[in-house]
Structure 1
Amino acid sequence: MPAWVPESTFTVSILLLLCSIVQSATGGYDGSMLNGLNILPSYKDYFNLNEATTGLNTASVSIGGLLGPLVSGVLADRLGRRPAIFWGSSLTIVGIIIQTASQNIAMFVVARAILGFGSAISGIAGGVYLSEAFPSRWRAWGVGLLNDFYYVGALIAAGVTLGTGQWQSTWAWRAPSLFQAVFSLLCILTLPFIPESPRWLAHQGYYEEARLSVAQTNSHGNLSDPVVLTIFKEIVDTLKWEKENWHSMSPIEIFKKPVARKRLLVGMSAGPFSCIAGNIIASYYFGLELDTAGITDKNEQLKANVVLNVWCLVCCLVGTHLAAKWGRKPTAMLSQALLSACLFIIGGLSKIYASNPKSASNALVYGNVAVIFLFQGFYSIGWTTLLYLYPSEIMNYSIRANGVAFSSFVLNAFALVFTFIMPIGLGNIGWKMYIINASWDIIILGLIAYYWVETKGKTLEEIDALFEGEKHSTVPDVEKIEKGQKQIDVVAIAEELNAELGPSSAKASGIHIAP
C-alpha cells in the first residue's frame, strides 16, 4: 500500500494512534451500545427477546471474534499490517450495515458475527502494528491508548443510546448501530498517511523502506540518527537470528519450541485473564447488575451507563501512566487484587439486598452501585491498558501476529461462553456469581505474580533476553542511547549493516547505508 507520511514524528505518532485506536473504539462502542439496547424496550420488544436470545444477540459478535483470529495472523504476516487493518475495517462496516437493517434475530446474529470477524482481523493487526511501529519510549502509551479508547467508543455509544432511547420507533436501536461504522471509516481514511511496520518490511527484505519507517517514527525522518541506526540494527540482527535458527512464519511456530510455547502462554494470558476477571457482567449486562443492586428505572440505568464510561476512561488513563512508569506486572497485580476485593463486597451487598429488597435502605443500594463503579475503574487501570500491550511485547516477530491472534481467539472463546451464561447465572443464583468470580480472580493474581515478566523500557528485540537468555544484537540497549548513557560509532554501525545485509540484499532493495 502506498503511503504519504508526514515529516514530523509527533504527527506520525498521532496518526498511528488514530488509525489503531478506532479498533478498540469500535469494541467499546459495541459493548456499551448493547448495554443500552438491552435496556431499551423498543429493542427487546422488536426481537421478542428472552434471557437465552438476549445472550445470543449479545454474544454473537464473539462468534466472528472466534473466527477472525484464525486468519488474522496469517493475513498480517503475508499482506502486511496496514492491508490487514484495511480489509478488517471494511468487513466491519459490512457487518454494521447488515446489523442496522436487521429484520429478525437470525439476521442480527449473522451481522454481528461478520462485525466481530472484521473487528478481530483489524484489531489484531492494529495491536501488532502499533507495537512494532511505535518508538519503545512511547510504546506503553501508544499501545495502551489503543485499548483505552474502548471507553471513548463506549462513552459515545452510551450518549447516543441515551439520546435515541426516547424515540418511539425501531430507529431507537438502528441509529446507534449505524453510527458504529464511523470508527472503521476513520481508520481507512488514515491508512494512506502512516508507514508500514519496519519489522515487517525488514523481514520481507525491504531494508531501505524499513530504515525509513524507523526514522519517520523516531527522528523526524533523519536516517543517520544514532537511535534510528541502533533500532534498525537490532531489527536486522534479530530477524537474521530467527531465520538462521529456523523460525518460520507458520501458525504452528507458536507451538513448535519450548521457548515459543512459554512466550505464547505468558503473552496470551492477558486475554483470558481480562475476560474472566468479572468485567463481562458490566460490559454487556450493566442493567441486570443494577437490578440486583436495586436500581430498576430504565432511564436512570442509561444515565448510570454514561457516568460509568467517563469514570472508566479516567481510570484507564491512570493505568496507562502506571504501566509506563511503574511497569506492566505491578499494574496487573494491583488491578487484580482490587478486583477480587470489590467482587466479594458486591456479592455481599447484593445478598443483603436480595434477602429483603422492599426494606433495603438507600445507603445499601447506592453503596452497592458505588462498589460496582469502583470495580470497573480498577479493571480499567490494569486490563484495559494491558490487553493489547502485553501480548504483542512478549512474543517475538516470528510468532507475534499468530500469537496475538491465538490470544484473541482464546479471549473470544471465553467471552462467547461468559456473555451467554452471565444473564442466566445472574437470574438463577444472583449474588453468588460475584463470589464465584472473586474466588478465581485470586488464583489469577497468583499466576501473574509467578509467571509474568516485566517489559518496561525495552524494545521488542531486547525482550528476547528475558526468554532466550541473550540479546541477538551487539548494539547497546536503545534506552541507554536515548538517555546518553551509551554511545555508538555511527560510521562503524553503518558499515556493519552494509556487510551484514550483503551485496545482493543491498542491491535488491536499492539500499546503501551511509552514515
Structure 2
Amino acid sequence: MLSLTQKLEFNYPRGPLLGLLASIQTVGAMVALPSIGWLVDKIGRRRSIVFGAAWTLVGAALQGSAVHLAAFIISRFLIGFGLAYTVVASPVLLSELALAKHRGTILAYFPATWYTGAIIAAWVTYGTQFIQNSWSWRIPSLLQAFPAIIQITLIWFVPESPRWLIAQGRGAEAREFLIKYHANGDENNPIVETEYTQIKEAILQDAQWKKQSSYLDLVRTKPNRRRLIIVTFCGLFLEISGNGLVQYYLHAVLNSIGITKTVEQTTINGCLSIYNFLVAIGASFLVDRVGRRKLFIASTSGMLLAFILWTTFAALYTTHGTQSFAYGVLVCIFLSNGAYSLGWTPLWAYPAELLPFEVRARGVTYMTGVMHAFGFFSAFVNPIGLGSIGWKYYLAYVAYTFLELCAVWYFFVETKGYALEEIASIFETPGLTWKQRRNFKGPVSYRDVNDAEESGDGEKKAEITNVKEL
C-alpha cells in the first residue's frame, strides 16, 4: 500500500497502474524462475543466495532513491528478481544440511522468521507515516537492503551442502561436514559412513537415468509425478489460502468493517505481524514432535472454521452495521492468520524434503513459480471481488478452503523422522495406494543412530550399520 506522500509524488496511481505496483515484484520473481534451478545446481546453494541478495540490494537502493514512478516500478522488479533466488536456494540448503531429527524444526524456522521482517516493516511504516516528506517511504525502502547485506556477509560462515559437494566430486569436503556437524567430530561414528554412502548412492542412482537435467525430470517417472502433485498443491495453497487478503489488502478489509483510520490500521497490521510470528515460532517446535501431516490438517481446518465465522460476521455487519460484528471480523482475521501460521508458514519448505537431490532445486523453483503465478492472479482478483460483491466474496474462500482440506488429507504424506534419502521410499515403493503412502512406515532412520550415539546405546548403533541402503 502506497503512503500518502508517495501518492502525491507519483500523481495518485490507480486502477491498472496501482495493480502493476502491487504485482511487479512477483513479475520479477517469475522472470528469474527459469534460471534458478540451473544456477543453484551449477554454482552451489551459498553462491546462489549471494547472487540473489546482490540484486535485492541494488533494487532497494534504487527504490529508496527513486524520483519517478518508472524507477520505483523497476526497483520493485529487481527486488522480486533477487528474492526469487534466495527463496529457492535457502530451503534447499537448509534441507540438505540438517540432520533428520532436526530437519523439520530447522526448515520451519526459515519461513517463520519472515515475520521478523514483517514486524520491522509494519512498525517502521507506522512510525514513518508521521514524516511529512518523501522520507516517509524512502526509509522503509532503503531498509530492505539490510537483510541482503546480512546474507551476503554471513552466508560464508554457513557450510555448503554435502549433497552438492558429493555431486561435484568433492566427497572429502562432504565427509568433513558430516564428521563435524552430524557426528560431533567423531569420524568413527557409524552415522558418517552410513549417511555418506546413502547420499552418494542416491545421487549416482539419479544420475543413471538422468542424461541431461531439465524440468522434464519432474514428470519422467511415476515417483516424481506423485511428488509433483503435492508440490503443486503446496505452491497453490501457500499463496491462495486467504493470507493474501490480509497481506496485500488488509486496508480494504478493514475499511469494509468501518476501521478506516490510518493509525488504527497500521497498529492492527503491526500487532498481526507479532501475533503471526509468535504462532509460527511456536509451531516450529511442533514439526518434529507432532509431524507435518497433522499440522497441515490442523492448520487448514482452522482456516476453514475461521472463514466460516469471518463470512458470518461480515454478513451481519453489512446487514446491521453493529460495531460488535466488526470486532468479530477482526477476531476472525487473527484466527485465520493464526491457523495459517500454525502449519503453512513453518512447513513452507516441505516440498524440499519430498524431492530427490537431482530435481530438488528445480522442484522448489517450480513450486515458487506456482506461488507467484497464483499470487499475481489473486492480486488482481481480490480487490475486484471485494469491491463488487463485498462479504459474499468470502464464500468463495470457504468453498476453496474446504477443497484444500480434502486435498491435504488425501495426498499429503508424513516425513517426520525420515532421513532425506529415506523419504524416497514413500513415493518409489510400487503398488501402494495413496492411503498406504500417507501411512507409510519407512526404514530405520539416522535419527536413531544419533539418539543412540547420544545415549551410548551400542546395540542400536550396531543395528543401524546393517540397515539396507535405498
| Fold-level similarity (TM above 0.5) | yes
Relative to the length of structure 1, the TM-score reads 0.83
% identical equivalent positions: 31
- Distance in 1 of aligned mates of 2:285 and 2:256: 34
Relative to the length of structure 2, the TM-score reads 0.91
Q: What residue number does 2:100 align with?
A: 136
- In the TM superposition, 1:145-224 aligns within 5 A as 145-224=109-188
Q: What residue number does 1:262 align with?
A: 226
- In the TM superposition, 1:41-440 aligns within 5 A as 41-47=4-10, 48-246=12-210, 248-356=212-320, 360-388=321-349, 390-440=350-400
1:70 counterpart letter in structure 2: P
Distance change (3 Å), C-alpha of 1:412 and 1:320: same
- Distance in 2 of aligned mates of 1:60 and 1:174: 18
Shift in Å, 1:161: 0.3
Shift in Å, 1:228: 2.4
Q: What residue number does 2:438 align with?
A: none
Shift in Å, 1:247: 6.5
- Distance in 1 of aligned mates of 2:307 and 2:331: 12
Q: Does the 8 Å contact 2:284/2:346 carry over to 1?
A: yes
Q: Does the 8 Å contact 1:248/1:398 carry over to 2?
A: no
Q: Does the 8 Å contact 2:190/2:465 carry over to 1?
A: no
SS in 2 for 1:102: coil
Distance change (3 Å), C-alpha of 1:94 and 1:322: same
Distance change (3 Å), C-alpha of 1:304 and 1:430: same
Shift in Å, 1:272: 1.0
Instruction: Tell me the alpha carbon deviations over residues 155-191 of structure 1, each in whole angstroms, 9 at most, x when there is no partner.
Output: 0001110111100011101110100110011011112
Q: What residue number does 1:456 align with?
A: 416
Given the alignment, which residue of 452, 465, 481 partners 2:449?
481
Distance change (3 Å), C-alpha of 1:314 and 1:492: closer
1:95 counterpart letter in structure 2: G
Instruction: Tell me the alpha carbon deviations over residues 170-220 of structure 1, each in whole angstroms, 9 at most, x when there is no partner.
Output: 110111010011001101111221211000011111110111122233234
Larger displacement relative to structure 2 (404-413 or 426-435): 426-435
Shift in Å, 1:224: 2.6
Q: Does the 8 Å contact 1:268/1:404 carry over to 2?
A: no
SS in 1 for 2:215: coil
Shift in Å, 1:476: 5.0
Instruction: Tell me the alpha carbon deviations over residues 233-262 of structure 1, each in whole angstroms, 9 at most, x when there is no partner.
Output: 211121122223446533321122222122
Q: What residue number does 1:466 align with?
A: 426
Q: What residue number does 1:512 align with?
A: none
Shift in Å, 1:424: 2.3
Shift in Å, 1:425: 1.9
Instruction: Tell me the alpha carbon deviations over residues 367-386 of structure 1, each in whole angstroms, 9 at most, x when there is no partner.
Output: 21111111111111111111
2:461 counterpart letter in structure 1: Q
Shift in Å, 1:68: 2.0
Shift in Å, 1:51: 4.2
Q: Does the 8 Å contact 2:449/2:464 carry over to 1?
A: no
- Gaps spanning 5+ residues in structure 2: where? 431-442, 453-458
Distance change (3 Å), C-alpha of 1:445 and 1:246: same
Distance change (3 Å), C-alpha of 1:104 and 1:421: farther
Q: Does the 8 Å contact 2:310/2:328 carry over to 1?
A: no
- Distance in 2 of aligned mates of 1:90 and 1:107: 18
Pairs aligned (count): 451
Q: What residue number does 1:6 align with?
A: none
Q: Does the 8 Å contact 1:343/1:438 carry over to 2?
A: yes
